[in-house]
Amino acid sequence: MELSAFPGFLFTVFDRFTVLAVFFTVFALILDFMKRRKKCRNYPPGPWGLPFIGNIHQVDLNNPHLSFAKLWKKYGDVVGVQFGWTNTVILNSYETVKEALVKKSEDFADRPNLPMYQYMMKTAGEGIAFAKYGQWWKEQRRFSISTLRNFGVGKKSSEMRIIEEAGFLNKELEDQKGLPLDPNFLLTCATSNIICSTVFGERFEYKDKKFLALLHVLEESFVLEGAIWGQLLNAFPFIRHFPGPHNKIFENHKKGIDFVQEIVTEHKKSWDPNEPRDFIDAFLAEQEKMKHVPETSFVEYKMIGTILNLFAGGTETSSTTLRWALLYMMIHPNLQSKVHEEIDRVIGKERKPMLEDREEMPYTNAVIHETQRFGNIAPISIPHQTSRDTEVMGYRIPKGTMIIPNLTSIMFDENVWSTPHQFNPGHFLNPEGQFVKQEAFLPFSAGRRVCPGEQLARAELFLFFTCMLQRFTFHLPENKPRPSYKEAKFGITLTPLPYQLCAKLR
C-alpha cells in the first residue's frame, strides 16, 4: 500500500466502524424498546425509564419502600415501573391490594422468575414461598399447612411449647442481671426454636455454636437478598459471575442447605413412617407413599427448599416484631406501664400467660398489633406475578407482569389510621377500650399467598411478649443515647438498628 493511500484507508476503516457502531446502537435501542414497551392499552401510569435500566435509578435500593411511597403520592394507587426489562406494577392502598390479592387471588397468585432465587433453587427446591403457582405449589402448601397443624400449630401442644420456650428466654434475660444487652439473638433463638421443634423435632440451646452460626447466616441473608445487592442481581443477573458482596447470598444459602441436609440424613436412620415425629418424618413418609407417582412433588431436594422457607419465615418475622416491641416499650415507658397493669390485673405475677387471656387483654393485644403496623415488618411483601391478563382498579395488566404489593402504603395510609406516623395502640381500641380488628391490617399479606404460619406467629407474639413483660421492666441503659425508632435496616424484613436494653426484674 502506498503511503499516500494510507490516510484514505484509515478513513475507510474508521467509517466502517462508525457505521457498525451506529447500526448496533440503533439495533440495541430498538431491542430495548421492544422489550420495555407496554403490551396493552390503559396500562398503569408511572415515570419514564431510561434504556436498559428502566426506573432503577429512581428507586433507592436501600429503602425501596420509601421510593414507592413517593411514586404512590405522584401517580396514584396503581403505578407502572420497569426494573431493567421487567415490567412491574406497584399496588398501593388497602382497596387496591384487596381487589388484586383477595378478590382476584387466582390472577395474582403466581411468582416471578427472579434470577437470584432461580439460581438458588438449583441446589434446593423451590419451597412454597417462591414456587410458581400451579399443582406443585398447591400440593406442597396444602401438605405443609396440614402437617404443621398435625404437629400442634393452633393446638394446646403448640401453645405449651411456646410458653416453655418463653421460660428459657426469660431465664436468659434474668441471667444478665439488669446489665445492658442486645436482645437480637436471644429473641431470634426463642422464635426459631418454635419452628425447629415442629420441623426438626428438637430445640437448640441458646449457646449452640452451629445453631447460632445458622441464625447469623439467616439474618445476613435477609438483609442481602432484600436490599440493594439482591435487587441488582434480579435486575442484572449477569453480575452473579463477578466478585462482590452478592456472592455471600449464595454462600449463605449453601450453609443453610448443609444444616438442613445433615438433620434430614440423621432422620433417615431412625424414622418410622407410621409414627412421624416432625415435619421431616411426615414428608419422608409421604415421599415413600408417592415414589411411584410420575412427577411427584415429594422429592427430597424440594423438601429442603420448603424447610428453609419455613425456618426463615418462622424465625425472622416474629423475632423482628419482638425487637420492635421492646424498643417501643423502652421509648414509651408510660405505655409499658399500662401493659404491666393489664398483665397484673388479668394474669397476676405468678400464673403463666395463656392464649385465652388475649380476649381479656385488649390493651396488650393492641400494643402488639400496633407494633406490627408501625414497625412495618414486611414493607413490600414478596413479589407476585399475574398468571393471566387481568385488571385492577380499572387498569389493564398483562400476564407475566411482576406485582409488588406495597404494604407500607396500607400501614401508613392517612385515610385508614388517625395518626399513621405515631406509635398509637389506640388505632386498635374503640372508645370503650375494647380491642377492634382493623380490616386494613395486613402484616401477613393476603390471598392465596398469605403467610402459612400466621396463626403460629400470632400465638408467639402474644405469649413471648406477655411472658417477658410479666417478669421484666425494660429500660434504656444509663449514659447511652436513646436509640432511634425512625431508622431501620431494609432487607426482606424491616429491622431496627442494633440497640441495647436493660431487663429489670419486676
Q: What is the pLDDT of residues 5-62, one digit of tens each?
A: 545 544 564 555 565 555 445 544 454 455 555 556 899 999 988 887 889 888 888 8
Contact in structure between 153 and 451 (CB atoms under 8 Å) = no
pLDDT for 464 beyond 90: yes
N-term to C-term CA, the chain: 97
At 226 the pLDDT is 76
Top mean pLDDT of 115-129, 295-309, 370-384 is at: 370-384
Helix, strand and coil in the chain, % to nearest 5: 55, 10, 35
Residue 227 in this model has a pLDDT that exceeds 80: no
Cα–Cα distances in angstroms (integers) from residue 278 to residues 53, 151, 271, 311, 401, in the given order: 46, 7, 10, 13, 38
Residue 42 placed within a domain: no
Q: Which residue has the higher pLDDT, 381 or 344?
A: 344
pLDDT in the model for residue 39: 58
Q: Is residue 431 part of a domain?
A: no
Contacts 24+ apart (CB under 8 A), 451-454: 451/313, 451/317, 452/128, 452/141, 452/144, 452/145, 452/148, 453/148, 453/153, 453/195, 453/310, 453/313, 453/314
Mean of pLDDT values over 155-171: 92
Domain annotation covers residue 222: yes
Nearest to 186 by CA among 375, 313, 319, 312: 319
Is residue 46 a part of any domain in this protein?
Answer: no
* Angle between helix 362-375 and 454-471 (nearest 10): 120
Q: Report the relative pairing of strands 472-475 and 502-505 from DSSP bridges.
A: antiparallel
Residue 272 located in a structural domain: yes
If you average pLDDT over residues 176-202, what whole number do you get?
93
Q: In whole angstroms, what is the distance from residue 79 CA to residue 77 CA?
A: 6
Instruction: Say what the pLDDT of residue 7 is.
Output: 55
How many distinct structural domains can be found in the chain?
1
Residue 47 lies in a domain: no
Per-residue model confidence as pLDDT tens digits over 416-461: 999 999 999 999 999 999 999 999 999 999 999 998 888 999 999 9
Give the position of cell 436482645.
183
> What is the helix (H) or strand (E) element at residue 411, kind and residue range?
helix 407-411
| Cα dihedral sign, 116-119-121-124 | negative
Give residue for cell 411472658. 467
What is the distance between the alpha carbons of residues 176 and 289, in angstroms, rounded to a whole number? Answer: 50
The C-alpha cell that represents 121 in the structure block: 433453587
Q: What angle do CA 429, 435, 436 make, to 5 degrees?
A: 75
Q: Which residues contact 124 (CB under 8 A, 6 or more apart)?
A: 253, 256, 257, 301, 302, 304, 305, 308
pLDDT band at residue 381 using 50, 70 and 90 as cut-offs: confident
Top-confidence residue, 227 or 293? 293
Instruction: Give the model's confidence band at 221: pLDDT under 50 very low, under 70 low, under 90 confident, else very high.
Output: confident
The pair phi, psi for residue 242, each rounded to 5°, is -110, 155
- H helical segments located in 227-332: 228-235, 247-270, 279-289, 300-331
Report whether pLDDT(475) > 60.
yes
- Where is mean pLDDT largest: 36-50, 293-307, 396-410? 396-410
> Per residue in 232-288, pLDDT tens?
787 788 877 878 777 888 888 888 888 889 999 999 988 888 888 889 999 999 998
Give the pLDDT score at 33.
Answer: 52
Site of grid cell 409499658: 336
pLDDT score of 169 more than 80: yes
For residues 183-212, one letter each, b for 16 or more C-beta atoms within 10 angstroms of the residue's C-beta and e for the rest, the string is: bbbbbbbbbbbbbbbbbbbebbebeeeebb
Q: Whole-number mean pLDDT of the chain?
A: 87
Check if the beta carbon of residue 168 is closer than 8 Å to that of residue 420. Answer: no
The candidate with the shortest Cα–Cα distance to 69, out of 406, 315, 314, is 406
Q: Say which residue, 330 or 484, is predicted with more confidence.
A: 330
**Mean per-residue pLDDT, 355-363:** 97
Torsion sign, CA atoms 347, 351, 352, 356: negative
User: What pLDDT score was predicted for residue 124?
Assistant: 65
Q: Which pLDDT score is estimated for 72?
A: 94
Contact 402, 87 (CB under 8 A): yes
pLDDT score for 28: 46
> Does the pLDDT at position 69 exceed 50?
yes
Q: Is residue 161 part of a domain?
A: yes
pLDDT at 490 over 70: yes
Instruction: Give me the pLDDT at residue 506, please.
Output: 92
Mean pLDDT of 381-398: 94
CA dist 35 and 42 (Å) reads 18
DSSP state of 103: I
**Residue 350: is it exposed, middle or buried by C-beta count within 10 angstroms (0-12/13-18/19+)?**
exposed
Higher pLDDT, residue 367 or 158? 367
- Tell me, what CATH number does 356's domain have? 1.10.630.10
12-21, 279-288, 392-401, 487-496 — which is least confidently predicted?
12-21
Supply the pLDDT for residue 150: 85
Residue ranges making up the domain that contains 138: 110-375+448-505
Q: Is 37 inside a domain boundary?
A: no
Whole-number Å distance between alpha carbons of 280 and 271: 9
